[in-house]
Amino acid sequence: MARRSRRGRDAINWRHPGRVVVAGFAVGTAIGTALLMLPFATASGEATDLLTAWFTAVSAICVTGLVVVDTPTYWSGFGEGVILGLIQIGGLGVMTLASVLALLVARRLGMRMQLFAQTETKALGLGDVRRVVAGVIRLSLTMEAAVAVLLAVRFAWRYDEPFWDAVYLGVFHAISAYNNAGFALYSDSLISFATDPFILVPIIVAVVVGGLGFPVISELLRRRLRRGKPWSLHTRVTVLTYGALLVVGSVAVTLTEWWNPKTLGPLDLHHKLLVGLSHGVMPRTAGFNSLDLAHFEPTTLLINDVLMFIGGGSAGTAGGIKVGTFALLAFVILAEIRGQPTVHVLGRRLPADAQRQALTVALLAVGVVMTATVALLAVSSFALDQVLFEVISAFGTVGLSTGITAKIPAVGQLILIALMFIGRLGPITMASALALRERPRRYELPEERPVVG
């Protein structure tokens, strides 16, 4: 009886969504690493060492974009295909992978998995998981196909790429952009296309759509078809905050780099605005760069740090602590400054448990970033602004770099691997775990207020 009971508990534990998701990503990373270590995965035909293959596989499946080798020159077509496959798998989202795995194994979802799906989508009922999976896949493929066509036409018409090469370039960059991965098949990322709106704009649109998240895009499409119904609180908070940070980030980067002779300085007005918009969008975890970040002003790097740490929308392809978390904390602070006993957000009262969850996710993220920064400073000789930028880029699954990734010692690259994995899975699994562990307290202790400040 005891043995049967223990076996039952183990089965239940493995059905916990957090364990399923982490196990799924670990298996995907292991397979990707093994494939990238094969000799025919490289352009030279030589086998790749374990650390390089592992770093690349984690960066791809966590849709980050940090690299220790030059993607277009180091990897063969097979290697690039493996990277693209990992990006697509990772970009479908933690919730989608967990839901698909549960459907394949059990043909139906248990209550805990359904609650997890509801937590992730913020707007869907318990019986809608199958529709979520189908919707995520349909939206992803549609958006990627549309952007791929636009890019392929541009590569063929403007840059004289052969037809199939143009198609391949369009598909690769469309998938990388929609999934906010930042992998590019050009050694300088998008610097060669900094003044080409027909390349940058489709990529920017794909990054924004992927970064907003499926729940928001799905609701926006539904509400447009059925006018008169208001958006949910989650959608309103995400759209308003994402839009505000996009504008503020673009303006801030443009102004701080306006006269920099190594970045925006030589460009004319409309190209400055285009590239400034691009670099206001990309730190939201996309990873493409149309300027050399090594020449950015320290102020610009710090602005990028903030944008990368916040990230994009929940249940999307972006990383970071998520704009919803950031917005909720801002409303909590505003209510406290006003001396209000409860927190109101756009005509709704914010539950106390949501406030605690947002605070927990944000403070744990700060702790992870600070600990990793200290560790990386201890094992490398780079300046604080470079190391902090690299750490937040890895944790936020952004992929932007000042060019130090390949120069960091092996132990430092292992730290970045851990950061990418934590950054991709940590905030989502943490938020769902906190929601699932919610339980009433059976008693309360006497109240006493400590000194604050």
Identify whether the C-beta of residue 321 lies closer than 8 Å to the C-beta of residue 427.
yes
So where are the chain's domains? 14-436
Radius of gyration of the chain, Cα coordinates, nearest whole angstrom: 22
Rounded Cα distance, 196 and 175, in Å: 19
What pLDDT, on a 0 to 100 scale, did the predictor assign at position 22?
A: 77
Identify whether the C-beta of residue 413 lies closer than 8 Å to the C-beta of residue 381.
no
Cβ neighbors of 105 (< 8 A, separation 6 or more) are none
| pLDDT tens for each residue of the chain, 453 residues long | 444 444 444 444 444 555 667 787 889 999 999 999 999 999 999 999 999 999 999 999 999 999 999 999 999 999 999 999 999 988 876 556 544 444 444 444 344 444 344 433 333 444 456 677 788 888 889 999 999 999 999 999 999 999 999 999 999 999 999 999 999 999 999 999 999 999 999 999 999 998 888 778 888 887 665 565 678 888 899 999 999 999 999 999 999 999 999 999 999 999 999 999 999 999 988 889 999 999 999 999 999 999 999 998 877 778 889 898 999 999 999 999 998 888 988 888 888 878 888 888 899 999 999 999 999 999 999 999 999 999 999 999 999 999 999 999 999 999 999 999 988 877 666 555 555 555 666 777 787 778 776
Rounded Cα distance, 95 and 18, in Å: 10
Identify whether the C-beta of residue 92 lies closer than 8 Å to the C-beta of residue 136.
yes
Rounded Cα distance, 331 and 347, in Å: 12
What pLDDT, on a 0 to 100 scale, did the predictor assign at position 7?
A: 47
Please spell the DSSP secondary structure of 55-75, one letter per residue.
Answer: HHHHHHHTT----SS-HHHHB
Rounded Cα distance, 201 and 410, in Å: 37
What pLDDT, on a 0 to 100 scale, did the predictor assign at position 92?
A: 78
